[in-house]
Amino acid sequence: MSDVAAAAGVSLVTVSRAINSPDQLASETLSAVRNAIEQLGYVPNLTAGSLASSRSRIVGAMVPTISNAVFAETIEALTQTLGEGGYQLLLGQTSYRADDEQRLVDVFLGRRVDGVVLTGITHAPGLRDRLQRSGIPVVETWDMTGRPIDMLVGFSNRDAGYLAGEYLLGRGHRQLAFIGAQEDRSRQRLEGFRAAAEAAGVGAVPAQLIAPPAAMVDVRPALDALVAQAPGIDALFCNNDLLAAGVLFECARRGWSVPGRLAVMGFGDQPIAQASFPQLTTLRVHGRRIGEQAGQLLLGRLAGTGEPQAATAVDIGVELVVRDSA
Amino acid sequence: MSDVAAAAGVSLVTVSRAINSPDQLASETLSAVRNAIEQLGYVPNLTAGSLASSRSRIVGAMVPTISNAVFAETIEALTQTLGEGGYQLLLGQTSYRADDEQRLVDVFLGRRVDGVVLTGITHAPGLRDRLQRSGIPVVETWDMTGRPIDMLVGFSNRDAGYLAGEYLLGRGHRQLAFIGAQEDRSRQRLEGFRAAAEAAGVGAVPAQLIAPPAAMVDVRPALDALVAQAPGIDALFCNNDLLAAGVLFECARRGWSVPGRLAVMGFGDQPIAQASFPQLTTLRVHGRRIGEQAGQLLLGRLAGTGEPQAATAVDIGVELVVRDSA
DNA sequence: CTGAAAGCGCTAACAC
DNA sequence: GTGTTAGCGCTTTCAG
């Protein structure tokens, strides 16, 4: 930086200002500095800048795994939104382990990230306090709670399940069933799904919860088990579209018509939902929008004047996508 | 840090050493410092450490988009591998735009990342020089070239196409066809596929290249076009499994048996490949292994004594996964 | 609009 | 084993 300053015939501060607040400089000075930067191929050391300004312009984001398409979408949008605001994303994966989450938060705090994005609302013990004490903005995503750490953007899995139930019941189905995974979100969807059934006064809703990672090969035995429990099931809500597509293939194998013999509903509106035959009726969660919103909430807070702002919770909801399978 | 030092009755360096090289300390001193750290809830400022040591312990990785499952897998494995070595991942997305790639490399260099992972082998102009001049280790991924920037781990798309052709021809098919996308990798696969056909002395291989983003709804017209060109096609190689699954559904709609009337081969061995009926014969690229290898190459270089090492190119190949569709 | 001085919080190198 | 000294490369005051 001092080389640039010397070449442009100005002081260090001026070079700094040419980079960070160009409007404050006389246009001549500015272009002189810019020339020097160009000439020397100077690349400012952002680490030094971060240390001096105590703003890292980095946001830390944690997902259970990035290779889950729904989280990938959110991270994609988040990266883009933050990038437009001049922020970079530091990625962490918890692999669904609480101690990894704990460790990652320490790393994030150690790097003095300017904000943190978390997936879900259940976290490692102590993490909540730690983050709140740090004072940096936090956004939790992909779920809903009345008691967020700070900000929140997600949707209610219970509501989603209820919506699926309502739709299927509205179409005249009376023997509902569910295939999901052994994890919280899936259970909440099931709960909402059953609540809809109960509200309509229809009987028990048998469910199969597959141990994660739920693979497609688990579909056949799960369906077998459901049919064994309730031979007359006529509508099946699956925890995700891949599972639902597996059910479609399985129905084809059994010679069951869809939705004639069995109505099938997925969750997620993944690409496969349109590729399948029949196309899947499903629930769409706008994963990109979650990332966008989370990014915007952070940028807003970071641009703010520093006074503590009211907590924000955004419910982006789920959308019913009616196609052919139900 | 000075609070910790005071509380433990030692100097600053000792605290630093307790964190970074605990073996150098007497066990009493160490536990005294650790107690103080615990008590005060001290979180070391890694930014300051980076500046002082000129090692950031951050690796920058660039993908076209993280919401493409194959890149997500690589990034997942890379994050894990680097994490085990104490490195964090800074994520950048190019959205397939050269200027974004350029800008991101500047950000990475500005942050003084200790290494860079790139996707693909064709880059923004000047990027190659810039990186080589910086002297930091670079790994290119997901492709093959005889002239890498530094290190390389990927596979040959041409070889993959050839392998697919060879397999289908070996099964007695004689009228091959291809559905792909209008992008380099797809074209290279087609080239290899055609080379195999040529080597076997069979006729022209009609191809449909869909403009990205290739969606499932494009399958029907593409198949129509191929059949119009060559009514007798008996084997179809698809650029990815989703496309192949679309073809399966389309065949079901037409009443074509698979692989009886048409053998269908995919690429990628995505989850859908096992979920479909019939299950897809496909080529598997071990995306996770690419990430792992890239991470390990970097860690090796970063642990090295600093002497320039020979460039490394790893061809992880593709694997033929024979199932039912071909 | 520009500059001088004083750190940001840590680590490297060298002593003891 | 531990401490002292001198920065890392920038930004933030505060002057002018």
- Strand D close to A252 by CB, under 7 A: no
Same domain, A107 and A151: yes
Q: What is the mean pLDDT of residues A70-74?
A: 93
Q: How far from A299 is each of A78, A176, A215, A296, CA to CA, in Å?
A: 11, 44, 38, 5
Range from A135-144, A157-166, A260-269, A274-283 carrying the lowest mean pLDDT: A274-283
What pLDDT, on the 0 to 100 scale, is given for residue B308?
60
Whether the pLDDT of residue B305 is over 60: the answer is: no
Whether the pLDDT of residue B311 is over 90: the answer is: no
CB count within 10 Å of CB B72 equals 25
Tens of pLDDT, residue by residue over B268-295, are 998 789 878 899 999 999 999 999 999 9
- Indicate the helix (H) or strand (E) that contains B276: none
Task: Determine, yes or no, domain membership for B149.
Answer: yes
Range from B24-38, B145-159, B173-187, B213-227 carrying the lowest mean pLDDT: B213-227
Nearest by CB to A91, which of B44, B67, B89? Answer: B89
What pLDDT, on the 0 to 100 scale, is given for residue B306?
52
Residues A238, A241: Cα–Cα separation, whole Å: 7
Task: Determine, yes or no, domain membership for A326.
Answer: no
Same domain, A273 and A297: no
- Touching B: A residues 65-94, CB under 8 Å: 65-69, 72-73, 75-76, 79-80, 83, 88-93
Same domain, B147 and B294: yes
Same domain, A226 and A293: no
Question: Taking the CA of residue A172 as centre, how many other CA atoms within 13 Å lie in the half-sphere pointing to its CB?
Answer: 4
Same domain, A149 and A291: yes
What pLDDT, on the 0 to 100 scale, is given for residue A112?
96
What pLDDT, on the 0 to 100 scale, is given for residue A306?
53
Whether the pLDDT of residue A68 is over 90: the answer is: no
B35 touches chain A (CB under 8 A): no
Share the mean pLDDT of chain B.
93
What pLDDT, on the 0 to 100 scale, is given for residue B203?
85
- The SS3 assignment for A69 reads helix
B205 to chain A, closest Cα gap in Å = 25
Task: Determine, yes or no, domain membership for A322.
Answer: no
What pLDDT, on the 0 to 100 scale, is given for residue A124?
92
> In angstroms, how far is CA B158 from the centroid of its own chain?
17
Q: What tokens were used for B196?
A: 């195999």
CB count within 10 Å of CB B167 equals 20
A215 touches chain B (CB under 8 A): yes
Q: What is the mean pLDDT of residues A311-315?
A: 89
Q: Return the percentage of chain B with pLDDT > 90, whole number.
A: 87
What is the crossing angle of helices A287-303 and A69-84, to 10°? 30
Task: Determine, yes or no, domain membership for B266.
Answer: yes
Test A274 with B73 for CB contact under 8 angstroms: no
Confidence band, pLDDT 50/70/90 cuts, at residue A7:
very high
Per DSSP, the residues of A190-247 read HHHHHHHHHHTT-----EEEEPSS--GGGHHHHHHHHHHH-TT--EEEESSHHHHHHH
A75 to chain B, closest Cα gap in Å = 8
SS (H, E, C) A245-292: HHHHHHHHHHCCCCCCCCEEECCCCCCHHHHCCCCCEEEECCHHHHHH
Same domain, A7 and A83: no
* Of A198, A129, A128, A148, residue with least CA distance to A169: A198
Give the chain A residue nearest B48 (alpha carbons). A51
What pLDDT, on the 0 to 100 scale, is given for residue B74?
97
B202 to chain A, closest Cα gap in Å = 32
Task: Determine, yes or no, domain membership for A49.
Answer: no
Whether the pLDDT of residue A275 is over 80: the answer is: no
B276 touches chain A (CB under 8 A): yes
What pLDDT, on the 0 to 100 scale, is given for residue A307?
56
Test B271 with A242 for CB contact under 8 angstroms: yes
Same domain, B195 and B277: yes
What pLDDT, on the 0 to 100 scale, is given for residue A311?
73
Test B272 with A242 for CB contact under 8 angstroms: yes
Contacts 24+ apart (CB under 8 A), B26-32: B32/B8
A48 touches chain B (CB under 8 A): yes
Nearest by CB to A110, which of B45, B51, B67? Answer: B45
B102 to chain A, closest Cα gap in Å = 13
Counting the structural domains of chain B, the total is 3
B48 touches chain A (CB under 8 A): yes
Same domain, A82 and A168: no
Same domain, A161 and A278: yes
Nearest by CB to B76, which of A47, A67, A89? Answer: A67
Same domain, A146 and A127: yes
Confidence band, pLDDT 50/70/90 cuts, at residue A308:
low
Task: Determine, yes or no, domain membership for A232.
Answer: yes
- The SS3 assignment for A118 reads strand
Give the chain A residue nearest B106 (alpha carbons). A43
Task: Determine, yes or no, domain membership for A323.
Answer: no
Same domain, A178 and A249: yes
Q: What tokens were used for B145?
A: 């070239």
Q: Return the percentage of chain A with pLDDT > 90, whole number.
A: 87
Tens of pLDDT, residue by residue over B68-78, are 888 999 999 99
CATH number at residue B200: 3.40.50.2300
- Touching B: A residues 150-209, CB under 8 Å: none
What pLDDT, on the 0 to 100 scale, is given for residue A274?
85
Tens of pLDDT, residue by residue over A81-108, are 999 999 999 999 999 899 999 999 999 9
Task: Determine, yes or no, domain membership for B325.
Answer: no
For residue B29, the enclosing domain spans: 2-44
Same domain, B235 and B122: no
Give the chain B residue nearest A109 (alpha carbons). B43
Tens of pLDDT, residue by residue over B192-251, are 999 999 999 998 999 999 997 777 788 999 999 999 999 999 999 999 998 999 999 899
Whether the pLDDT of residue B122 is over 60: the answer is: yes
Per DSSP, the residues of B56-79 read --EEEEEES-TTSHHHHHHHHHHH
